[in-house]
Structure 1
Amino acid sequence: MTFTQPVLARRRSERLLAAARLTALRATFMVLDVVAPSVAAARALDLWCTLPANAGRRKDYRPGPGEVVRVQLPEGGEVAVESWGSGPIVYLVHGWGGWRGQLGAFVAPLVAAGYRVVGFDAPGHGDSDPGVLGVGRGNVMEFMAALEVVAAEFGPAEGVIAHSMGCTVVSMVARSTLSTQRLVLIAPNHDFVGITEDFAQLLSFTERTRSRLQQDMEDFCGRPIRDFDLAPLGADGTMPPTLVVHDRRDKETPYQVGVDLAAAWPDATLVSTDGLGHQRILTDASTIALAVGHLTDRVGATPRD
């Protein structure tokens, strides 16, 4: 693939602009961290809840249109839900800033294996209505609520395939209301405390602000953010058999997260890839085959003619 000079120039301009914005943000947080850490924490929480605008998260790998419905949420607004095929249900759960089309490469193989595949967009994502925080914003609590509502509408799952932050969403809901026989967790996200520490380093604020940010998050969620840590969620053996797939060179969620998760959950198995990163792993033929194989082993589904 080759790029024309205008395209290369535009990309360089975009990188320079992003770097300038980050420099300005760091300067702001360095000052607020000293003189007004509570204000800095509030500003950090606002940024935390802002959805990424990366075009790669909007890629569409669906084999074709399915049946689309809209489901009402308890807090107001509707989420877009799309389904294909018939049979036992497999839910597809995207990550932070993503949408259902990102996991579209799983649809055709799952339908061929005899499943009804159901994907949805979290509030503020894809084709769903904005969430409680407004356009371009989101939070994990409404993401979880959306999965609960969709599952209540479509029924128990024979399996769930989740990506990135969707892994935490699925695991939390599986601990409470979602009945599922098997899980596939792809590139699971690291613990929220660790993410806030990375956030602090990126934006150049200290523990003075970070601890306040964590407290604000816990006040909003109504629970300690340690409750969202993936490894402890299944360490007691209550999670169904789980396939964890993680790339060694994932730049968004550390590979070690997958290693630790698979080690902590008694019924989890880790499959490592190399060079697929955080996004391409969702279209990798081997990853898809592993995921479908993991699910079909459990329910005994047979391929359709």
Structure 2
Amino acid sequence: MSNKIYFNTPSRFSLKRSLVNVSTRLHHTLARKHAIKTAKNLLLTPVRLKVKNPEPKGLIRGKVACSQGQLITYTLGSGPIWLITHGWSGSTSQFYPLMEHIAQQGFTALAFDYAGHGESEGKFGHLPAFVEALDVMADSCDEIVGVVAHSMGSAALLESKHQKFQAAPLLLVAPVLNYLENLMQTVSRSGFSMKLFNAVISELEQEYQYPLQKINPQQHLLDRKSATIIVHDPEDKFANYSVSQDIVNCSPWVNLVTANSYGHSRIMKSQEVMDSFDSLSKK
């Protein structure tokens, strides 16, 4: 979803939000096909993030093909593979500090940019495409000993049924575990026509044979029986900390590490994330 909507969801009355609602409903009524095409461009086009983290020495770029185009991969270090996946409108560069830490601990840090993100090809981004990309990445490499995921990347990881992920320890950073609820509330608060939004979703469901209602990262995490650490800031504005708390209270396999004053993105290079990786990798 466009950052203009995803990262701008005021709860109080907004004239702009009301105008968005009226204009998108009218557009859908008068020119359905054009409205859906326009909405797809707005809702499914991520921002190509430019992060100022310095590129690690020895970083190797590669390519892996998927239906959305060539995905750019980034490899650092040697040894067993930890796969790293960013979130919506993110990029691998956000994880450069963690990749250096992983490599220093004797592992290979393997990351990639989703289609429409970072340096990868493609224009659109959405959860079914994220899941497909994760499965393609898993097929492209040898055994994966662990996975690090941020934000929407966590939801995609938990949605994936790939065998290489099922027993792997997970480090989930600011995860969006109530993905479906979060998505619907976000679009609704933006003022965007829900009828037009559902029309866009319907096209994606048909294209990927991926019904929206089957998405349930929370339940998938509860069903897992492998070590998982969630690192989350209670003040995170985009991923609900209380949902992470609820998961921990219901599963003996999941631990929560609270990281204060980082927000949703800066937490990715926090000491809490580094320490949590060390804890999982030693297990």
The match for 2:219 is 232
1:61-119 deviations in whole A, cap 9, x for unaligned? 5433412111222x263111111111111011111111111111112221121111111
Matched, 1:79 2:71: yes
Q: Identify the residue that residue 100 of structure 2 maps to in structure 1.
A: 108
CA contact (8 A) 1:103 1:282 kept: yes
Within 2, Cα distance between the matches of 1:76 and 1:214?
Answer: 17
Say which of 132, 147, 157 aligns to 1:160.
Answer: 147
Q: How does 1:120-269 map to 2 (within 5 A)?
A: 120-130=112-122, 135=123, 137-173=124-160, 175-179=161-165, 180-189=167-176, 190-205=178-193, 208-209=195-196, 211-212=198-199, 214-236=201-223, 238-269=224-255
* Distance 1:247-1:203 versus aligned 2 partners, 3 A rule: same
Specify the structure having the higher radius of gyration (Cα): 1
SS in 2 for 1:181: coil
Does structure 1 retain, via aligned residues, the 8 Å contact 2:83–2:147? yes
Q: State which drifts further: 98-107 or 192-201.
A: 192-201
TM-score normalised over the length of structure 1: 0.77
- The 8 Å contact of residues 61 and 103 in structure 1, kept in 2 or not, is answered as no
- Give the distance between the partners of 1:23 and 1:59, measured in 2 at CA: 36
Question: Does 2:262 correspond to 1:276?
Answer: yes
Matched, 1:70 2:57: no
Q: TM-score, normalised by structure 2?
A: 0.82
Deviations 1:123-166 (A, max 9, x none): 12111111xxxx3x222222222222222222121111100011
Contact 2:25–2:196 (CA<8 Å) still a contact in 1?
Answer: no
* CA pair 247-82 structure 1, distance change in 2 beyond 3 A: same
8 Å CA contact 2:75–2:110 kept in 1: the answer is: yes
Partner of 1:3: none
Letter in 2 for 1:101: S
1:54–1:31: structure 2 CA closer, same or farther, 3 Å change rule?
farther
Q: 1:63 to 1:163 in 2, by over 3 A?
A: same
Query: 5+ unaligned residues in a row in structure 1: which ranges?
Result: 1-14, 299-305
1:35–1:258 CA distance, 2 compared to 1 (3 A) = farther
- Kindly state the Cα deviation for residue 47 of structure 1 after the two structures are TM-superposed: 2.4
* Residues 92 and 241 of structure 1: CA distance in aligned 2, closer, same or farther (over 3 Å): same
In 1: Cα distance, 2:32 partner to 2:62 partner: 44
Q: 1:142 to 1:212 in 2, by over 3 A?
A: closer
SS in 2 for 1:72: strand
Q: Is the 8 A contact 1:45 1:216 kept in 2?
A: no
| 1:286 Cα deviation from its structure 2 partner | 2.5
The Cα of 1:199 is off from its aligned counterpart by 0.6
Tell me the SS of whatever aligns to 2:281. helix
Inter-partner Cα distance in structure 2 for 1:61 and 1:103: 10
